Structure 1
Amino acid sequence: MHTVWKGSISFGLVNIPIKLHSATENKDIKLRQLHKECHAPISYKKVCEGCEQEVKEEDIVKAYEYAKNKFVVLEAEELERLKKENEDKAVEIIDFVKLEEIDPIYFERSYFLSPDTTGGKAYSLLRETLKESGKIGVAKIIIRSKEQLAVVRVYEDTLVMETIHFPDEVRSTADVPNIPSEETVVQKELDTALMLVDQLTTAFDPAKYTDEYRTALMELIEEKKASNNTVSVSDKQPLPDNVTDLMSALQASLDKTSKKKPATRKKKVAKTS
């Protein structure tokens, strides 16, 4: 399993060397875009809006747009220095809270925590402490230059760190349009709805839920492959017109020069008696 972060996590005076691994993966089927006429893949280029020229990676700088078309340019060195100043590889658990106190809207991404070579005993201690207390730990961590709020909890027999949004990253419900005000609900309708909920209530089993669209899409793809309904694109890219024209011009010039060049005559050497 790929390690995405390496450091340590601590609570009180207990320090645990750990590695972070992505706990989930996106299984969306990625579809490429092809040109309808020749079925060649479509590529995207970074083009400057000002001079309309393609820009190389080394010619790009980052900036913050503080007003329409007004930017503050941030140099790569400045961003790197700021990152190093705030990138502490030791993550401290700040508080312990109950899981049910955190609304699911705050949760973002899950990571498995594994102990480094010397962290097994401390890892087990934190795991059992969380199990016995029924609490989860709240901590801060910097991942990919972004400070994250996170919680540490037990999942099956493994510690899991889940990044969560800061409060100002969760939008206000007051901004959601067309929310109906409180209205009197007909009791008969409510009773019927509650009866339906009771009939559909069951223990949660994640294995029973599948991505039906992804399954159907893969079946369609396999059917097309089996019926040889596929297209192939050559890896060889044709030379741009200007290069082709240049080669033709050079060859024509060479041919023309060869025709004009006079044949070399051998000089006769006078014989001496």
Structure 2
Amino acid sequence: MPARPAWRGYLKLSLVTCGVELSNATTSAEKVSFRIINRKTGNTVKRQYVDAESGKPIGDKDEVKGYEIEKDDYLLIEEDEIEALQIESEHTINLDGFVHKSEIDRIYLDTPYYLTPSDKVSEEAFAVIREALAEKKMAGLSRIVLYRRERPAIIEALGKGMLLTTLRYDNTVRKASAVFEEIEDVDVDEEMVDLATTVVNRRTAKFDPSKFEDSYENALLELIRAKKAGRKPPVVKAAPKESNVVNLFDALRQSLASEDGSEDDAGRKPAKRRAAKTSAGKRGSTSTKHKSA
């Protein structure tokens, strides 16, 4: 059974409009989920709102949203007042402008959705907009109301459909410069960079998301299977704690050696150059201590 659309409305490019549907591009349906159980009775439990002062449960009709305007002073907002709010992006995705996706900092990309025509009548106009985006290799800037929040978004061609990705607002993104400003400048040894680059080269591969596995999820499933079968739950060994790197140069050489069990030319050459260039004492002075996470 097809998933219910997350949103249904119209896509508009100037005077061209077509009906569209938005579907979730990701799912968590396969993830292990738990219910809270009353240990004494074995029954499931449910959450219920209670009055913070009296501790008494309240009925659905007595629940109302409140916006705190002063300490413990709330302005009550009714559901029908929220429902009455209408803005264009609630039902129409208007393509306001176009950019190259490469211009968008990845940190602003939020949630992906598939965009498809909602009916046969809309298919031709949908295809025209899709092909225009594909030919120009551009992404359309737009806005859309999802879950009672207007979100900026970009739309790009994707196969026979399109991909809409919501964006984060600029005021919600912490600037990297503010976070990284305390990192001190370091004079990096070029030969150690050569060693690290060799490790990167050896591990370079094509991106294949099918190889990603959730080890924690697998461990949970194995625990469930064992308990269901009446077996003793498996003992999961904790990962060894990382120790501080005392000599970064030696650690990099050992990393290369561990790749194939021996130090090849790429691992030896920097060592020879370094030995010719510096004394053992000087080499020790470039050692760097890293705090373990």
Q: TM-score category by the smaller chain?
A: 0.7 to 0.9
Alpha-carbon distance in structure 1 between the residues aligned to 2:128 and 2:89: 26
User: Which of these residues, 153, 156, 162, is aligned with residue 159 of structure 1?
Assistant: 162
Matches within 5 A, 1:227-246: 227=230
SS at 1:118's partner residue?
helix
TM superposition outliers: structure 1 runs of 4+ over 6 Å? none
* Counterpart for residue 141 of structure 2: 138
8 Å contact 2:64–2:77 — kept in the other structure?
yes
The 8 Å contact of residues 8 and 20 in structure 2, kept in 1 or not, is answered as: yes
2:108 corresponding residue in structure 1: 106
Which runs of 5 or more residues in structure 2 are unaligned? 233-293
C-alpha distance in structure 2 between counterparts of 1:216 and 1:158, whole Å = 37
Residue in 2 that maps onto 1:222? 225
Please report how far the alpha carbon of residue 35 of structure 1 lies from its aligned counterpart in structure 2 after TM superposition.
3.9
Whole-angstrom distance in 1 between the partners of 2:193 and 2:69: 50
Offset at residue 202 of structure 1 (A): 1.5
Cα distance change of structure 1 residues 178 and 101 upon mapping to structure 2, 3 Å threshold:
closer
- Alignment-derived partner of residue 20 in structure 2: 18
Which residue does 1:90 correspond to in 2? Answer: 92
TM-superposed deviation, 1:87: 5.5
The yes-or-no answer on 1:185 pairing with 2:161 is: no
Q: Distance in 2 between matches of 1:228 and 1:193?
A: 45
Query: Is 1:45 the counterpart of 2:71 in the alignment?
Result: no
Q: Secondary structure at the match of 2:18?
A: strand
Amino acid at match of 2:131: E
Structure 1 residue matching 2:164: 3-state secondary structure:
strand
Aligned identity (percent) is 27
1:121 aligns with 2:101: no
Deviates more, 1:49-58 or 1:38-47: 38-47
- The within-5 A match list for 1:201-212 is 201-212=204-215
Q: Could you tell me how far 1:155 is from its partner in structure 2? A: 2.8
**Number of aligned residues:** 228
Q: CA deviation at 1:135?
A: 0.8
Cα distance, 1:182–1:157 mapped onto 2, change above 3 Å: farther
Looking at structure 2, the residues matched to 66 and 216 of structure 1 have their Cα atoms a distance apart, in angstroms, of 47
Structure 1 residue 39: deviation in Å? Answer: 4.1
CA distance in 2, matches of 1:57, 1:227: 42
| Counterpart secondary structure, 1:223 | helix
Gaps of 5+ in 1: 230-273
Q: Deviations over 1:226-252 (max 9, x none)?
A: 2389xxxxxxxxxxxxxxxxxxxxxxx
Q: Say if 1:67 and 1:193 are closer, same or farther in 2 by CA, change over 3 A.
A: farther
Shift of 1:67: 4.2
Whether contact under 8 Å (2:142, 2:153) holds in the other structure is: yes
In 1, are the aligned partners of 2:89 and 2:143 still within 8 Å (CA)?
A: no
User: TM-score, normalised on structure 1?
Assistant: 0.75
Q: CA deviation at 1:177?
A: 8.3
Match of 2:198 in 1: 195
How far off its partner does 1:219 sit? 2.6
- 2:115 is paired with a residue whose SS is strand
User: Closer, same or farther in 2 for the Cα pair 1:152/1:187, shift >3 Å?
Assistant: same
Which residue is equivalent to 1:258?
Answer: none
1:241-256 maps to which residues of 2 (within 5 A)? none
Q: Give the 3 Å change call, closer, same or farther, for CA 146–172 of structure 1 in structure 2.
A: same
Tell me what 1:268 maps to: none
C-alpha deviation, 1:147, in angstroms: 0.6
Q: CA deviation at 1:201?
A: 1.5
Indicate the structure (1 or 2) with the bigger Cα radius of gyration. 1
What is the root-mean-square deviation in Å for CA atoms of aligned residues?
2.4
